[in-house]
Structure 1
Amino acid sequence: MAIEFSNPISSSELLAAVDMGTNSFKMLVVRAGPNGRFLAVNRFKKPVLLGRGMNAEESTISSEAQHRAIVALRKFGQVLQRQRIHQTKIVATSAVRESSNKIEFLSRVREEVGFEVDVLSGEEEARLVYLGVLQFLPVYDRTVLTVDIGGGSTEFVIGKQGKVLFATSLKLGHVTLTEAFVKNGELLELRNHIRSVLLESGLIEKVREVGFEIAVGSSGTVRSIENAIFRGYSEGLTNALVSLSEFRRDWRFRREELHAVAERLCCLDGGGILAARKAGFFRRRSEFITAGAVLLSEIFETLDIAEMQVSCYALGEGIISEILATACDDYDINVNARWRSVAHLSTRFNNEKKIKSAVRLCGHH
Structure 2
Amino acid sequence: MTSRAFSPPALTSSPPAMDAAAEAFVAAIDMGSNSFKLLLARSLPCGRFLPVLRLKEPLPLLRGAAFSGETQTRAISALKNLTLALDPHPVQTLRLVATAAIRECPNRSELLTAITTELGLQVHVIPGEEEARLIYLGVLQFLPVYERLVLLVDIGGGSTELLIGKQGRVLFATSLELGHVSLTENFVKNGDFIGLRRFVTEVIGKSGFVEKSRELGGFEMAIGSSGTVRWIQKAIARDLIDGEFRMESAFSREELGCLVAKLGMGEVDKVRALGFSNRRSKVIVAGAVLLFEIFNALSINEMEVSLYGLVEGVVSEMIAKENVDYDWGANARWRSVMTLAARFDGEHWMKSAIQCVGIAKEIFYGLKRCYELGDISGTPISFDEKEFECLEAALLLHNIGKTIGKKGYHKHSYQIIRNSGHLHGYSSEEIKLIALLARYHRKKFPRNGHGSIQELPAGMRQKFRVLCVMIRIAFALQQCQYMDFEELEVLHAPEGFNVILIGVKDTLFVARGLPVAAVIKSELKPELEHFEEVFHKKISLSFPQKD
Q: TM-score scaled to structure 2, two decimals?
A: 0.59
Contact 1:225–1:282 (8 Å) recurs in 2 = no
1:11 partnered with 2:43: no
Contact 2:164–2:170 (8 Å) recurs in 1 = yes
| Structure-1 residue corresponding to 2:270 | 272
Secondary structure of 1:157's aligned partner: strand
| Structure-1 residue corresponding to 2:239 | 232
How many angstroms apart in 2 are the aligned matches of 1:359 and 1:224? 36
How many angstroms apart in 2 are the aligned matches of 1:283 and 1:138? 33
1:92 partnered with 2:92: no
| Structure-2 residue corresponding to 1:46 | 57
Secondary structure of 1:207's aligned partner: helix
Secondary structure of 1:347's aligned partner: helix
Amino acid at match of 2:322: A
How far apart are residue 140 of structure 1 and its match? Answer: 0.8
Secondary structure of 2:307's aligned partner: coil
Note closer, same or farther for the CA distance 1:293–1:143 as it changes in structure 2 (3 Å cut): same
How far apart are residue 82 of structure 1 and its match? Answer: 2.9
Q: Work out which of the residue numbers 313, 328, 333 in structure 2 matches 1:333.
A: 328
Contact 2:191–2:265 (8 Å) recurs in 1 = no
Gaps of 5+ in 2: 1-19, 358-389, 396-425, 431-547
TM-superposition CA deviations, 1:84-124 (whole Å, max 9, x none): 11211100000011111111111111112221000011000
How many angstroms apart in 1 are the aligned matches of 2:182 and 2:394? 43
Amino acid at match of 1:147: V
How far apart are residue 219 of structure 1 and its match? Answer: 0.1
TM-superposition CA deviations, 1:24-61 (whole Å, max 9, x none): 1100111111122111111111111122xx45xxx322
Deviates more, 1:100-109 or 1:301-310: 100-109
Aligned Cα root-mean-square deviation (Å): 2.3
| Structure-2 residue corresponding to 1:4 | none
Give the aligned length.
340
Gaps of 5+ in 1: 1-8
1:72 partnered with 2:78: yes
Counterpart mapping for 1:1-365 below 5 A = 11-51=22-62, 54-55=63-64, 59-210=65-216, 211-233=218-240, 235=241, 249-276=247-274, 280-282=275-277, 285-328=280-323, 330-349=325-344, 352=349, 360-361=392-393
How far apart are residue 126 of structure 1 and its match? Answer: 0.3
Note closer, same or farther for the CA distance 1:108–1:259 as it changes in structure 2 (3 Å cut): same
How far apart are residue 208 of structure 1 and its match? Answer: 1.4
Secondary structure of 2:85's aligned partner: helix
How far apart are residue 313 of structure 1 and its match? Answer: 0.2
Greater Rg over alpha carbons, structure: 2
How far apart are residue 180 of structure 1 and its match? Answer: 0.6
Secondary structure of 1:338's aligned partner: helix
How many angstroms apart in 2 are the aligned matches of 1:94 and 1:288? 17
How far apart are residue 207 of structure 1 and its match? Answer: 1.3
How many angstroms apart in 1 are the aligned matches of 2:134 and 2:26? 16
Contact 2:174–2:207 (8 Å) recurs in 1 = no
Secondary structure of 1:80's aligned partner: coil
Secondary structure of 1:137's aligned partner: coil
Note closer, same or farther for the CA distance 1:144–1:359 as it changes in structure 2 (3 Å cut): farther
Contact 1:346–1:359 (8 Å) recurs in 2 = no
Contact 2:251–2:303 (8 Å) recurs in 1 = yes
Secondary structure of 1:35's aligned partner: coil
How many angstroms apart in 1 are the aligned matches of 2:179 and 2:40? 26
Contact 1:215–1:309 (8 Å) recurs in 2 = yes
How many angstroms apart in 1 are the aligned matches of 2:302 and 2:134? 23
Amino acid at match of 2:222: A
Contact 2:266–2:285 (8 Å) recurs in 1 = no
Amino acid at match of 1:144: V
Secondary structure of 1:82's aligned partner: coil
Q: TM-score scaled to structure 1, two decimals?
A: 0.87
Note closer, same or farther for the CA distance 1:283–1:325 as it changes in structure 2 (3 Å cut): farther
TM-superposition CA deviations, 1:268-301 (whole Å, max 9, x none): 413432344xxx3558622110000000000000
Q: Kindly, what percent of the aligned residue pairs are identical?
A: 50
Deviates more, 1:59-68 or 1:315-324: 59-68
Secondary structure of 2:281's aligned partner: coil
How far apart are residue 341 of structure 1 and its match? Answer: 1.4
Deviates more, 1:144-153 or 1:200-209: 200-209
Amino acid at match of 1:230: A
How far apart are residue 349 of structure 1 and its match? Answer: 4.5
Note closer, same or farther for the CA distance 1:144–1:355 as it changes in structure 2 (3 Å cut): farther
Secondary structure of 1:267's aligned partner: coil
Amino acid at match of 2:187: F
- Higher relative CO (Cα under 8 Å, sequence separation at least 6) belongs to 1
